[in-house]
Structure 1
C-alpha cells in the first residue's frame, strides 16, 4: 500500500528526521525550523525575500570568472567578444554546488551550470544575422563556471583572481569514457577513435560525488543540431526519439560550425546528452563524459551510497513521458574527498548497472535493468550491444517497461532517512488523444501544475531493486476547479511547476519553481505569482514560501554552506517574457529597476540570516 504521511511519521525513517530537530514537533518549532516569515506570492519585478534574511548579488552573467591576468569586464551593450565570454560568467545559471576549501564554511568553490543562451541579449544588435563569431560566443556562454568565493564582514564576495577559476564551455576538449567510448556510434570524422569531444552545453541540473567531483548534466542538447532538410537522410527511430532531426534546432549553428550539421556528421549528436564529471579543484583536468550512466536529456545526477559502499546515481530525463533512472556502480567508493580520493575513484563511474523505474499501483515500484540480453533488450529489438543500450537509453527503457513520467527533473536524497524526492514539473499532454493515460504515479490529466513524488528503497538500500512510493505534493492552486491538488499539510504555501530541489544537511527540503513566462500570473496560475523558492520540513509536512523572483525568471540552483549559515541560489533568465509588443524583456534585474533600463542578467544570490543563524529558520 502507498505510504502516506501518517505511515511515514510512524516509521523508523521519521524517527531519524525527528532526531535531527528534537523529539517532538514542539521541539522542532523551538529549534526554529521554518521560523522565518513567509513571503506572499507576488508579480513584483524584484527579489522578494523573507525579512529575516539579506542577500547579495554575487556572480551575474558577464562577470569575470577570475582567471589571473584574463578578466574582461562585462560590457552592458553586449559588445564583449566570444573570447571575452570564454572567461566570463555564462548565461542562464542553473545547478550549483559549494565545495569548501580546507573544510571551511566561509571560503570555497562555487561550481555552476549555464543552461542556454538568450541570443537577443547575448549579442550586440541581437541574434540576426548569425555568423561564426556569434556561434562561438553562444557556445562559450553555456557550460560550467568554477569560481572562488569568501565570506567577509560585508558579506560574500568573489575572489579575484583565483587559481581555481575556470570556464568549461561548448568548445572545451573533453574525454569520453565508459562502455560506449570508442564504439561506432560515437565516432566522427574529427574523432575517428570516438573518445574525444569538444564541449558541453545545455547544462541543467547536477550532482556531487562523495570524492568531491561535480557532475554536470547535458539536457536539451538536441536543439543545437540541424541541417538542410533537402540533403539530410530521413531520421532514424533513435533520432526521432531524441529530437536530433533537421528543422528542430533553436539556432543555426550547423551553418557555421560543421559538426552541428546532421547531414554531414550524424554521430556528433550522440556525443551529447551525458553526465560530465569535472574536478573543480584542478583547473588543468580534462572533463569526462561518463557513458555508463546512459544518454538522455539529463536533468539530475544525485549521488548516494548503497549499504555496501557502492555509488548509486539517480537521474531524471526532462521530457514529457520520459523516465527516472538509477545507476549503481560495480565497485565500492574509496573513502575521502581529497585529491587522493579523486584519483582512487577516477574510473568508478565507468562500470556498473543502469536501471529504469517502474511505479506500480498500490505504492510499490521496482528497478528494471537496462542490460543487453535482459528484459527484451537484444539484437531482435534493435540493440547490437550494451553500448547501443546506453547511447539509446530511452529506447531501451521503452522496451523494458519503465513508467512514463510527467517530466522528471531534479532529485534529492534525505541525509537521515534515505527518502528520495523527485520533481515532476508538469505535463499538459497527459491523457490527451494519442498520449499515455493517467496512472498511479502520474494521476492527473492535463497536468499543468506538476508535483513532487518520493520513494523509499527497500531496506533503505539504494542498491536494491524495489521500493515504496507516494506523492509528497500534487502542486497547484486548490481554488482552481478540478486542480486535484494535494499538499502534505493543511497550512502549506501553494506553488506550481516544481523544478529545482535540494535537501540540506539539516534535512530541510528546498523547492524551486519554473512556471513558463507566458503562464505566470494568468489563468490557473493567477494566484501563484512569479517563480519562487519554498522550504519544506518533511517531518511535519509544513511548506513556507521563502523567496519570489523577478519577472520572467526561473528560480533554480540551490546549495548550502557546510555550517548551514549561507544559502546560494540562482536567478535564471529574468525578463524572459516579452509580451508588450516591443520585444523588450519584462525585467532589467539586477542592474535596473525599469524594463529597458538595463540588460537583464542571470545571477547567483548569496543569502544569509541577518542574525547569522541557520538558513531555513
Structure 2
C-alpha cells in the first residue's frame, strides 16, 4: 500500500459520523451474487458476506446446495502517511467476481474507486498518530472472504523536496507538481473582446486583465455559477489586485511624451491597467483550469470606476472635490497591493503607493500650513506625477479623467474648483462584493488612510469584536489594528447584502497603532481625537476632528509614539493560534542607521550586492515579526512579540546577520507576501502552513524571487538574543532583541522560484487545499520592447520563445500530480 496517483476524488474534513464511499455495499454484493436465494438460513446476507465462505458453506450444506471455493484475498500491508497526502489501498483477490473496500475504523474518509482492487483517499487532519482501518471483501458465486489493513496517519508535514535557488525564466516548482497559467495581463474577460496580441496595440483594458497582478483571493461559486458557495474548490471567483504597470510593454515602442504632454489613448490604457479584476475560474475533470471569458460575474474595477465613501470621514471637507462637492463619492482605486477578506464574502483591497501618481509641487503659497504638512508626510510632492497622466489634453474638454491627477491648488481656487483634495481620496481600504458585479465599492474610512499593505482579519469569535491588521508600506511606518465596535454574530457570515454587513462591522470602531517594547511586550495605542495628544493643539499638525485623524492617520500615529518599522507590509493570522505575522521587507541605512535600531527592528549590516560587491548597509534582507494578543483576543490592548525569521543569505554571519540559521534550502531576502493555508483543509489545521513570498533587490544577484513554505512554532519558542551590528568605517553597536526558534529542514523550505525580474505576490488556495494560486508580477521589468529581459509566461511552455516576445504578469495554478494537498 503506497501513495500513488488516484482518479479524481472528493475531500472530507474528517467528520466521523458518516462514511462516505462509492463502494458497492456488502448487502448489494450479496444480493447480486446470491440471487438464487432471497435469504440465507440463520442470518442476513450482510452477515454472510462479512463472515465469508465458511458461513456460506454451512448454510449451503444444510440446504444441499453446492458451494464455490472462497476467494483468496489480501488487503496489503500496513502503511504510514501524513495528513493531506493521497493514500492508495491495493487489494488482491484470486478467483473473485466482485470486490469492495469499506472503512471500518478511524476518522471517516472518502474512498474513491472502492468497488475495485485499488481505492484511494486523502489522509484526514489529525493532531497525533491515528489509525484508520479498512476491509477488503471479495465474492465469488456463493462465497465471500475479507481481509483488513491499517493506515497510520501522522500530523501534516512539509512533503516536498526544496527547490534550488536559480535565475531561470520559468516558474520552478518541486518534483510531483504541475504549473498552469491563467489571467495574463491583457487576457479578455468579456464576450467579444479580442485575444491579446501583446505587441502594444491592444486597447480596452476595462475588459481585460490588468498589469502587475498582486494579492488575490478565491471566492467559491455554487454549481449554478451565480450563488456563493464558500466550500467550492472547482468553480469560483478569483479577485486580484493590479498594482502597477510595465509601461514600456503596453505601447508599440514604449510610452511617448511629446513636449511634456502624454497622448490620451496611452494614458487611458495605463490607467485602466490598474485596479482590481474579478474573474470566474473553473477546473475541469482533468484538473485543467481556465477562465470563463463571458462570465456575467467578471469585472474590472479601475481608477475610473465610481466608488463611495463610508464611515467617519464621509462628507468631510477633506474629501470634497469638483467630482463630489459633498465629499461622499469618488472615482476608482489605484496601486492596489495586498488584500484582506471578510467572513461574509466580501473582498478588501488596499491602496498602497498612491501618493506618487499626483502632480503636486510649487503650490505651497496656495495651501494652509496644515495642508503642506500633511502632503509632505504622505509624500505627495511630485512635480509630474507617475506617468504624467495630468498632462493629457482630452478630446472632450469636460473630461476630468486626467485633470484629477493634477492636485495643485490654484490661486483663488477651492476644494470644489480644483483638485487639491484628490490625494485624500486614496490610501483607503476598499470593500468590494465580488458576487455583485454592478455594486459600488466602498472606501472604509474608519480603517484610516495610509500606504495600506494588507488588511487581514483576526479570529471571528461570537460575542467578541473582530479586528483587522494592517501594515503601512514605507520605511519607518507602522503596524495598525482596527477593532470593530460591533461584536461578531455568526448569522452575518451568510448575509446576502455583503456591503450592508460591511457597514455594520467596518464603519464604526477604533483604529490602533502598535508600540513594541524592548522586553518582548507591546501595546495598541488608540488613534482617537482628544486622546493621547491627538488634539487641536498637536504639533506639527493640529487635528480638527476624528475625520481629520483618519485622513491623516500617519500624523496621529506619530503623536502617540508608535514604533517605526522596517517597511511593514503584509499581515497574516495563524488560523489555529490566532497569532499575527507581519513582513518587514527591508530598510536602508537612511531609514535605519546604526544607532537607530531597536528590539523589533534590530539589525544593521552590510550585504554586498553583485559582482562589484556594492555596499548595501541597513537591513536589506528584512525579517518577519509576530505577535500574540493578550488572552488571544482581538479586543486586547497588549501583546507579546518575537521575530519569527530573519531574511539572509545562508553564507552570511550566523551570529549577527543570518540569525535564524537559514540553510541553502531556506535562505531568502525581502519577505513581502504572507499567507496561512485555509483552515478548511489539512494544510491549515493543527500546525498550519505559512507561505512566504519575496520582493527582492538584495539577493537577486543569486536567485530570482521565491515562495517558501513553513510550519512555524509560537511566540516565545525562542528567547532573548544580543547581536552586534556593523556600520561604515568599522563602527559597531550591540542590540538586544527577541528571536523565535530556529527553523529546521522539516519546518521551512523553498517551494517555488519565479522567472527573471519578477516579484512573487498574491497567494490563496481552494478550500480543499489541492490547488494554489500564486501571482507572478512584472517579469522582465527591466527590459525594453525591442529587448525584453524575460519572455515569461511564454517561456514556461516554449523552450526558445521569440527574442521580442514581451513578458506579462499572470497567475500560476499549482496542483500536485497525485491530487494531494499542495505543500504536504
Counterparts of 1:457-472 in structure 2, within 5 Å, are: 457-472=629-644
Structure 1 unaligned regions, length at least 5: 1-18
Closer, same or farther: CA 583–388 of 1 in aligned 2, 3 Å = farther
Closer, same or farther: CA 268–415 of 1 in aligned 2, 3 Å = same
Matched, 1:219 2:352: yes
**RMSD after superposition:** 2.4
1:62 deviates by: 0.4
Moved more, 256-265 or 388-397: 256-265
C-alpha separation in 2, matches of 1:188 and 1:332? 35
What is residue 7 of structure 1 aligned with on the other side? Answer: none
What is residue 707 of structure 2 aligned with on the other side? Answer: 533
1:577 deviates by: 2.6
Runs of 4+ residues deviating >6 angstroms: 488-492
Deviations 1:368-424 (A, max 9, x none): 000001111010011010001000000000001100000001110011100111100
1:333 deviates by: 3.2
What is residue 501 of structure 2 aligned with on the other side? Answer: 345
Matched, 1:86 2:206: yes
1:363 deviates by: 0.5
1:310 deviates by: 2.2
Deviations 1:118-171 (A, max 9, x none): 211112221112212222111110100000111111511112311211000010
Moved more, 588-597 or 86-95: 588-597
1:76 deviates by: 1.7
Moved more, 588-597 or 558-567: 588-597
Deviations 1:501-536 (A, max 9, x none): 0001211000000002xx4443xxx3xx11000000
Counterparts of 1:160-199 in structure 2, within 5 Å, are: 160-199=293-332
Matched, 1:255 2:391: yes
Closer, same or farther: CA 24–399 of 1 in aligned 2, 3 Å = farther
- What SS class does the counterpart of residue 379 from structure 1 fall into? coil
C-alpha separation in 1, matches of 2:440 and 2:255? 31
Alignment counterpart, residue 200 of structure 1, candidates 305, 329, 333: 333
| TM-score when normalising by structure 1 | 0.90
User: Quick check: 1:353–1:369 contact (8 Å CA) kept in 2?
Assistant: yes
What is residue 660 of structure 2 aligned with on the other side? Answer: 487
C-alpha separation in 2, matches of 1:582 and 1:459? 55
> Relative contact order (C-alpha < 8 Å, sep 6+): which is higher?
1
C-alpha separation in 2, matches of 1:401 and 1:29? 50
Matched, 1:448 2:620: yes
C-alpha separation in 1, matches of 2:785 and 2:277? 33
- CA radius of gyration, larger in: 2
Moved more, 284-293 or 27-36: 27-36
1:584 deviates by: 3.0
Structure 2 unaligned regions, length at least 5: 1-123, 131-150, 222-228, 393-401, 409-417, 605-617, 679-683, 714-740
What is residue 598 of structure 2 aligned with on the other side? Answer: 439
Matched, 1:557 2:762: yes
Matched, 1:115 2:243: yes
What is residue 10 of structure 1 aligned with on the other side? Answer: none
Alignment counterpart, residue 576 of structure 2, candidates 416, 422, 447: 416
What is residue 473 of structure 1 aligned with on the other side? Answer: 645
Closer, same or farther: CA 438–231 of 1 in aligned 2, 3 Å = closer
User: Quick check: 1:457–1:466 contact (8 Å CA) kept in 2?
Assistant: yes
Closer, same or farther: CA 338–436 of 1 in aligned 2, 3 Å = farther
1:232 deviates by: 7.5
Q: How many residues align?
A: 585
1:173 deviates by: 0.4
C-alpha separation in 1, matches of 2:243 and 2:595? 29
Moved more, 225-234 or 400-409: 225-234
C-alpha separation in 2, matches of 1:251 and 1:582? 17
Closer, same or farther: CA 458–306 of 1 in aligned 2, 3 Å = farther
1:74 deviates by: 0.9
1:72 deviates by: 3.1
Counterparts of 1:18-97 in structure 2, within 5 Å, are: 21-23=126-128, 30-31=154-155, 33-65=157-189, 67=190, 69-81=191-203, 84-97=204-217
1:465 deviates by: 0.5
Moved more, 32-41 or 268-277: 32-41
User: Quick check: 1:310–1:333 contact (8 Å CA) kept in 2?
Assistant: yes
Matched, 1:405 2:550: no
